[in-house]
A and B are shown apart, each in its own frame.
Chain A
Amino acid sequence: MNLTTNDRASYLAAGAGPSPAAGPAGAPGRAPSFALETVGLTRRFGDFTAVDAISFGVPSGTIFGLLGPNGAGKSTTIKMLTTLLPPTAGTGRVAGFDIVRQPVEVRRMIGYVPQMLSADGNLSAYENLLIFAKVYGIRVPQRRKRIMEVLAFMGLADSAGTLVNKFSGGMIRRLEIAQSMLHRPPVLFLDEPTVGLDPVARRNVWEHILRLRDEFGTTILLTTHYMEEADELCQEVAIMHQGKIVTVGAPAAIKAAAGVATLDDAFAHYTGSSIKDGGTFRDAARVRRVARRMG
């Protein structure tokens, strides 16, 4: 879907109104209502532009994929939208709140799973969730119930008391998603949720992501460099290359517009390079570093 200037203006107007707390759905009756939107979002590091004036909108209750090779700027985009990194230029709104001017409100509305496996290995699964339940102010009568609920939802109920450093990569990912949904955020950010997982674990994570959307109506922005993942999960994807969005739309529409059969070919069509070797040498070094950290 391509965002028209009108859609954008009406969404921004709705969010900037007297009651931004109206929530993720925005003003009722307005279509389309975006749970998340960026306009000209830009981030530079020195004179290198990692994210270059990207604009897109994600309708409530859908899964949106940022698709691109290592170094495309996907993580940097997520860091800006989760308020971890201030943008150099442009704006973003999450659940109706401005990411620069209302960071605390934004933080109340989001869950985030970083790219690296970030559950604490020296705590049990239950303890990992317990700490964040407390940080998010989930009080005692519901706390235990809520934790057991999300563990069960992610298929981890039997491993609640196990130390996370005994977990497989797929289990850690599911635990992290469980943690990110503890406080029932309307918007979820998943940075490369299945990177490094074997095909079975990957499919398992996919199923849980879909259930999250279908049962809770959660709006999900995920990044990936696996084309089949985008095809399987996302209503819409944006193909990112060297910090820019080269095209955005439903996977089928993108393939049709490019006249190709797969998203891989669509990527090649739009960028003139293959997603497999789209990253630069510097990124390869970085990926290796991250891999070492995780290993």
Chain B
Amino acid sequence: MPPESAVSPAAWARRFNPVDFIRQTFAVAEADVRKLRHDPTELVTRAVQPTLWLVVFAQVMGRLRGVPTGNLSYRDFMAPGILAQSVLFIAIFYGISVIWERDMGILQKFLVSPAPRVALVLGKALSAGVRGLTQAVFIYAIALLIGIKAQFGLLPILGVLVSTLLGAGIFSTFSLIVACLVKTRERMMGIGQLLSMPLFFASNAIYPLALMPSWLQVIAKVNPLSYQVDLLRALMVQGGQSTFGLGVDFAVQLGILAVLVAVAARLYARIVT
């Protein structure tokens, strides 16, 4: 009899159960959410940096009036960029916690379960997304306090939510891929530090694309963070405008996330070898 291939699409389709898949994805994220509930210190310390950017940096830079931000004040212009940044900084180091779980043996137990690798990876992306959402709530609160003109309609809020999940998902899955390749916390930490600042500065987070030299514009346009910021800028503040168009922003981010999740699912088991 012919050997049954482990990855034959027909066999996979027969065995795939979307309800189980969603449950498994949420179970992976739920573990993290419950841990955060037991000990939310991490969320509080994470909130310090965006506060500094919004309360100190934005105030001072805003006085300069040197950055052409159209009809927005500099603070309003920057707030979406700072949300994107704080999501990026959480997500880009996400691989470290995955390596930690590997060292503890927690990850191994998920990998010997029948849950598809894609569900395990998406679950991790979702849990990074939840951390991102707590940042969003926090940044909206600061925005209110310091008088940034945020939009509070149902659709804009929903859009910000999805965009935050997408951004966190993209960078955490990227981080997870790196973790599967480098395998140690130290190297993962180094790579996170190496990448986080360039990703931030080579984006439209705190200045518009038009202000950049053309070579930097090219980099900014292939940087997924720019699309997240663009989306957030249109949805989060009154009068904010998208440069690329909302459809493009969503499509680009969804596409990148899908590719990254597919790659991560293939590599995930490597982290334990």
Contact = CB atoms under 8 A, between A and B. Distances in A.
Interface of A: 16, 18, 79, 82-85, 100-104, 107-108, 110, 112, 114-118, 120, 122-123, 127, 131-132, 134-137, 163, 179-180, 293
A177 B177 CA distance: 30
A134 B112 contact: no
B30 A116 contact: no
A293 B3 CA distance: 41
Interface stretch (B31-39, B45-53, B254-262): B31-39
Contacts of A102: 4, 6
Interface in B219-273: 269, 272-273
Nearest to B103: A293
A123 B108 contact: no
B4 A123 contact: no
A101 B113 contact: no
Interface stretch (B18-26, B55-63, B147-155, B200-208): B18-26
7 contacts: A84-B272, A114-B108, A118-B109, A123-B35, A127-B31, A135-B115, A137-B23
A244 B256 CA distance: 46
B6 A104 contact: yes
A117 B105 contact: yes
Chain B interface SS verdict (over half)? helix
A259 B31 CA distance: 53
B41 to A, nearest CB: 11
B15 interface: yes
Q: 7 closest A-B pairs (Cβ-Cβ)? A: A118-B105, A134-B27, A114-B105, A116-B105, A122-B35, A107-B114, A112-B112
Given A101-B3, A104-B114, A114-B108, 14 more contacts: A16-B1, A79-B272, A83-B111, A84-B111, A84-B272, A101-B5, A101-B6, A116-B103, A118-B109, A120-B35, A123-B38, A127-B31, A134-B27, A163-B38
B6 A134 contact: no
Contact of B6 (A85, A103, A132, A135): A103
Interface string B83-127: 000000000000000000001111011111111000000000000
A179 B115 CA distance: 16
Given A122-B39, A136-B114, A84 B108 contact: yes
A252 B166 CA distance: 61
A135 B20 CA distance: 8
B28 interface: yes
A103 B106 CA distance: 19
Interface of B: 1, 3-6, 15, 20, 23-24, 26-28, 30-31, 34-35, 38-39, 103-106, 108-115, 269, 272-273
Given A104-B6, A132-B113, A118 B104 contact: yes
Contacts of B113: 107, 132, 135-136
A116 B109 contact: no
Nearest to A163: B38
B35 to A, nearest CB: 4
Which of B103, B105, B272 has most A Cβ within 10 Å? B105
A83 B112 contact: yes
Contact of B23 (A84, A117, A134): A134
Given A120-B106, A122-B35, A127-B34, A110 B112 contact: yes
Which of A79, A85, A114 has most B Cβ within 10 Å? A114
Nearest to A104: B114
A117 B272 CA distance: 16
A84 B38 contact: no
Nearest to B115: A135
Contacts of A84: 108, 111-112, 269, 272-273
A163 B39 CA distance: 11
Nearest to A18: B1
Nearest to B113: A135
Contacts of B105: 114-118
B1 to A, nearest CB: 7
Given A84-B112, A102-B6, A104-B114, A131 B27 contact: yes
B19 to A, nearest CB: 9
A8 B257 CA distance: 47
A135 B115 CA distance: 6
Given A102-B4, A107-B113, A107-B114, A85 B28 contact: no
